[in-house]
Amino acid sequence: MKNGKNRYRIKAGAKANLYLEITGKREDGFHNLYSLFIPIQWYDTLDFSLLKEGKTRFSSSDPCISENNTVSKAIEKLYPYRKNQTELQIHLIKNVPYMAGLGSASSDAASTLSFLNDFWECGLPREKLEEIGLEIGSDTPFFFYEKPCVIRGRGEIIEPIHNHGKFFFLIVKPKNIHISTQEAYQLISEKKAYTNQESLQKKMLASFINGNSIDFADSLFNGFESFLIEKYFFFKDLKKYFKQSGALNSVLSGSGSSFTGVYKDLEDLEKGLFFFKQKNIKNIFDFKISFL
């Protein structure tokens, strides 16, 4: 966190799903998941500055972000707990693509909750912040951990994972494709395409923990991917690009539309990024490299 006179700046990082199964629908209308979330080095920025008058308010660099946004929800939910009555102007500098399966809105909420809990002297434990965050979005609790985690339930069961060895990723987001989470889950629900591949889960998790990038890449899975590829044919081309770039494998993140490619080492990752840039398709894709 960078501090200035009457101003604070923090980063809100995104996530990628390297494994995702939708195991069934719950009585509350949500779905149960089994997923591996990893933090990635792609960040929004949140600026907090002191207000001399008026109530705490939100603004954004992106005019498309609605008034009913996750940061505003976080403000509203922590307001009753505050002991420090100082009001703030909160400005979001939006860098991470949304409707991309990268969880940036949930990360913005978690970062806001964490900052305001300290600044407003709310004194809430992390467990309470997770509970509040879950009310804002199912991915929000993960962002209080800042490390790889296995996620179960609708997002409330979180198991931090320590991986040995290095992993190298390239995240690619098609600029002209935006997929709502509701749309993706509706496809799964209509087809009742629920899975729970326990043997593949074990292989994926063991290879991730042991740092075996080849076996891990072979275990990548996303339950949305095959259905969304049928609807968005360009995804087939994108997976071909990843293969041509030297990626061991690639997988849809969350409900899309970004994909993550896994590479054997840093040299292969740099070659992969160069491949995409040489195709001169920066007007079609956003790119970001990430490491674990």
Answer yes or no: 191 catalytic: no
Q: Half-sphere exposure of 177 toward its Cβ, with a 13 Å CA cutoff?
A: 23
**Strand pairing of 88-93 and 221-222?**
unpaired
Choosing from 15, 73, 77, 173, which is the catalytic residue?
A: 15
CA end-to-end span of the chain: 21
d(CA 168, CA 98): 23
Q: Which H or E run includes 213?
A: helix 213-218
DSSP state of 167: -
Answer yes or no: 237 catalytic: no
CA 43 to chain centre: 10
User: Are the CB atoms for 221 and 199 separated by under 8 Å?
Assistant: no
Look at residue 199 and give its three-state secondary structure.
Answer: helix
Choosing from 47, 108, 139, 268, which is the catalytic residue?
A: 139
User: Are the CB atoms for 247 and 261 separated by under 8 Å?
Assistant: yes
d(CA 93, CA 158): 28
**126 — phi, psi (to 5°)?**
-60, -35
Q: 10 Å Cβ neighbour count for 75?
A: 21
d(CA 130, CA 124): 10
d(CA 126, CA 114): 9
User: Are the CB atoms for 241 and 272 separated by under 8 Å?
Assistant: no
* Active site residues per annotation: 15, 139
